[in-house]
A and B are shown apart, each in its own frame.
Chain A
Amino acid sequence: MSPRLSDMDRAAASSDGTPDDAALIRQYRDGSLEAFNMLYRRHLASVFGRVRYMIPVEDAEDVTQEVFVAAARSLFSFRGEAALGTWLRSLTNHKIAEYYRRRGRTAEHHSIALSELTSRSKDDDPAAAEDRLLIQRALRELPASYREVILLRFAEDLPFREISKLTGRNLEAVKSLFRRAVSALRTQLEEE
């Protein structure tokens, strides 16, 4: 599996001989399936990482697939105003929200017993699976900006400097947002 690339790395991918995202999108629109597969391989780690943080493990693969299928259909109208990574991130968030809507909205989902959910998980360690569900639930309860900074740092493994460039905030503001986000998550977990 290829190491995770930042949006800037992907944009500059042409410097190491591989086409950048924009070139691959053009090739895909011109009929190249291989170009889309290259985009998939390039962005899989970050999409899957984000999905895995928000979706029960047994459904993570399906939701990841839904993200890329939606991308394949929508790339023809993608105008390139934002980096492809940013566009995919918002598509992923949309699919995650859709997943929970499908499951009967958050309130109903909360009424499902944790023991029932963990029993569905393929995870060998029920305690870890239960903790994962608790954290996923707590993350969903956070304000979007808090959730986003946690996902960018943990799920996508982006350094704070990269998050700063991506969000247009200065580094100090990103670190401050991160601390407030972790503090809110901690409070949320204590309430669970």
Chain B
Amino acid sequence: MKRHLNDRDGARLDDQLAAFTDEVLTRAGPAGTSAHPELEGMEQTVLRLHRTFPRFQPTQAAAARMESKISVHAKDALRKASPRWHSQQSRRRLLFAFAASLAAVSLLIILPSLTSNMGSVTAAALRPTYVGLAAAAVGGIVLLALWLRGRK
């Protein structure tokens, strides 16, 4: 493409070639080409592409033939990958259940101590609370990590 076109000319040619292509691809017959020499050359290329590769889809027979061959491989892939996939999924579910239980049990432990020791905080009362808080935090972090991994 010669670089003597200004931006406005360029944008106009972009639109014209796009419109010409749309017309060629959506109509059965060929569209008339432009008088603009540069555009005319590109329109001829569009027509040549369209003429050389007319709309074509595989026949029903070809599609069915490919489907049956692909199915054999897909079945094989399914057989090989399924146990691995399912064991990954069940490991993830097991870890999720463990983390959720840990967080829930920890909360059950710390909630009563938090409410009963509101006014008088003693070292003895704090110990189980801190342990519970730490366990809940670990459970929460594991849950968060699993959730983030699942989102990827």
A residues with CB within 8 A of B: 1, 28-29, 31, 33, 36-37, 40-41, 44-45, 48-49, 52-53, 61, 64-65, 68-69, 72-73, 75-76, 79, 81, 128, 131-132, 135, 150, 153-155, 157, 159-160, 172, 175-176, 178-180, 182-186, 189
Q: In the docked arrangement, what's the CA distance between A155 and B52, Å? A: 12
Q: In the docked arrangement, what's the CA distance between A154 and B60, Å? A: 22
Chain B residues whose CB sits within 8 angstroms of the CB of A79 once the complex forms = 152
A154 with B81, Cβ < 8 A, contacts A61-B58, A176-B10, A186-B41 known:
no
B67 within 8 A of A: yes
Stretch in B69-77, B104-112, B140-148 touching the partner: B69-77
Interface of A is mostly: helix
Interface residue count for B (Cβ, 8 Å)?
Answer: 44
Tell whether, in the assembled complex, residue B57 and residue A185 are in contact, meaning their CB atoms are under 8 Å apart.
Answer: no
B residues with CB within 8 A of A: 1, 10-11, 13-15, 17-18, 21-22, 25, 41-42, 44-46, 48-50, 52-53, 55-58, 60, 62-63, 65-67, 69-71, 73-75, 77-78, 81-82, 84-85, 152
* CB-based nearest A residue for B81: A76
Tell whether, in the assembled complex, residue B81 and residue A172 are in contact, meaning their CB atoms are under 8 Å apart.
Answer: no
Tell whether, in the assembled complex, residue A36 and residue B58 are in contact, meaning their CB atoms are under 8 Å apart.
Answer: no
A-B contact pairs, 28 of them (CB 8 A): A1-B58, A1-B60, A1-B63, A28-B74, A37-B74, A40-B70, A41-B67, A49-B56, A49-B57, A64-B58, A65-B69, A68-B70, A128-B52, A131-B52, A132-B53, A135-B52, A153-B25, A154-B25, A160-B18, A175-B15, A176-B14, A178-B17, A178-B21, A179-B13, A179-B18, A182-B17, A182-B45, A189-B45
